[in-house]
Amino acid sequence: MKLLYRESSQETKNRMIKVAKSPMISQNRNNDEKRDIKTKILSKINHDYCEIVNSGNAAIMVAMNATEGPIIIPDQRSLAWF
């Protein structure tokens, strides 16, 4: 089967690599910075706890792991990896 898809240009890939390697994006962020961000988020929402994750799928997985029992996943095509 031959599937056609659009691939990012090399310039776009290089820029994405540069941003991913940036100290501001790095996984080695300063813990004080993360704590400040969480504090700001918590001041805006009506919850006792929040966590910063790297994607919407990661957030869904966190919620699924914290939930016991069956889970209904709607056919939205955005959760194609399930």
In whole angstroms, give the CA distance from residue 42 to residue 48: 7
pLDDT of residue 71: 76
For each of the chain's 82 residues, which pLDDT tens digit applies? 454 556 778 888 888 788 777 766 655 556 777 788 888 999 999 888 888 888 888 888 888 888 888 777 666 665 555 5
Q: Residue 73, Cβ neighbours under 10 Å: how many?
A: 9
pLDDT of residue 43: 92
DSSP-derived letter for residue 20 is H
DSSP-derived letter for residue 56 is H
pLDDT of residue 3: 47
